[in-house]
A = this chain, B = another copy of it.
Amino acid sequence: MKKLINDPRAVVNESVEGFGIAHADLVTVHPDPLFITRKDAPVQGKVGLVSGGGSGHEPLHAGFVGRGMLDAAVPGAVFTSPTPDQIIPATTAVNGGAGVLHIVKNYTGDVLNFETAAEMAEAEGVAVRSVLVNDDVAVEDSLYTAGRRGVGGTVFVERIAGAAAERGDDLDGVTAVAQRVVDSVRSMGVALAACTVPHAGVPSFDLAEDEIEIGIGIHGEPGRHRIAMEDADGITQRLLDPIVADLSLTSGDRTIVMVNGMGGTPASELYIMFRKVAQLLDGLSVTIERSLVGNYITALEMQGASLTILRVDQEMLELWDSPVHTAALRWGA
C-alpha cells in the first residue's frame, strides 16, 4: 500500500485539518469531537442541514459545507459512520432556531448513529428531522433487507435541500423537498479496480486484468456481479438501463445527470461516459437540464465511476441553480 499519508489512524484528522486551513473562509473545523460547520453557523432562522458518514468519500461531505448546501459535515473514520457524540454537537451548533435536518445515507451504521444523535439532540431541545438517501439501484430493496445504499444521490439531496433551507423554507418544507429528491434520484456504479483502506493495507477486492465489478458502492465493497471488461459505451449502458427502468424515465422527462469518478478515474474517461449518457438519453427524448462530471463522492482512490440521475421538476431546477458556495460546488456566489 502506497499512500500520501502519515499515521493511518491520523488520516481523517490531518486531512480535515488541512481542509480547514485551505477553506478557512468557508468553514470552521471543530477538532474534538470532530465536525465541520460553515463559517457563519448557526444562521439564525434558517433550517440547519447536517450530513456525515464515513470518511474516504471526499469531497462528500465536508466539501459541500457552505452557503446553499450543508451547515455541518460529520466525518467518521474511513468508511465508518461517525458517532453520536460528534453528530450531537454538530446538530446543536447549526441550529439557528428553525431546527435541523439530518441527511443520512442508508447504511445500518449511519442510520443507528444518526438516530441516537437525533434523539439526544431533540432531548436538548433541537427539532430534528431525517431523510434517508437510498438511491443505489444495484441493491435489492425489500422489507427484509437493509435496503438500498445511499450513494451519489446524496449530492443532489444536499444541494437542493440546502437551497430550500437558504430560501427560508421551514423544517417540514426542507424535509419535504429533500424527500422529493430522494424519491426521484437513482444511481449505479462500476469499479475497474478496488481501493485500499489505509488501516487495512490491502485492496478491498481483487479483479483480474479483464474483469470489472458492476453495482459497487462507495466503500470498496465488491459489487453485485463481476463481468468481463467492456468498452465505455457498453459499461455506460449497463449503468444507465437499470436507472432508467427504476425511475421509469420517459420521453419529455427532465433530468440532472452526474457522472461521478470514484477517485482514481481520469476526467477524460468520465466525459467519455457522459457523452454516451447524453446520446442514450437523447434517444429516449429525455432532457439533461444540468450536469456534474467529476469526483463528487468517491471511494478513496478506486478506479471506476457512478452514474446518478435525478428527475427534476421546475422547482428543483430553480433550487439547483440558486447560489451555492462550498469547497467543491460553487456558482452564483
Q: Who on chain B is nearest to A271 by CB? A: B18
Which secondary structure dominates where chain A touches chain B?
mixed
Decide if A22 touches B293 in the complex (CB within 8 Å): yes
Decide if A271 touches B22 in the complex (CB within 8 Å): yes
Stoichiometry, copies per complex: 2
Decide if B269 touches A4 in the complex (CB within 8 Å): yes
Q: Which of A89-97, A156-164, A171-179, A228-236 contacts B (4 or more CB under 8 A)?
A: A228-236
A301 to B330 CA separation, bound complex (whole angstroms): 25
Decide if B5 touches A269 in the complex (CB within 8 Å): yes
8 Å CB interface, A268-286 against B = 268-276, 278
A21 surroundings in chain B (CB, below 8 A): 274-275, 278, 288, 291
Decide if A58 touches B275 in the complex (CB within 8 Å): no
Q: Who on chain B is nearest to A298 by CB? A: B266
A305 surroundings in chain B (CB, below 8 A): 4
Range for the number of chain A residues in contact with chain B: 35 or more
What 0/1 pattern do residues 29 to 46 of A give for CB contact below 8 A with B?
000000000000000000
A270 surroundings in chain B (CB, below 8 A): 4, 18
A246 to B77 CA separation, bound complex (whole angstroms): 39
Residues of A within 8 A of B (CB): 1-7, 11-12, 14-19, 21-22, 55-56, 58-59, 63, 192-193, 209-210, 212, 229, 231-233, 235, 263-276, 278, 288, 291, 293, 295, 298, 300-301, 303-305, 330-331
Query: Which are the 7 A-B pairs with shortest beta-carbon distances?
Result: A18-B275, A18-B271, A4-B269, A58-B267, A15-B268, A264-B264, A2-B192
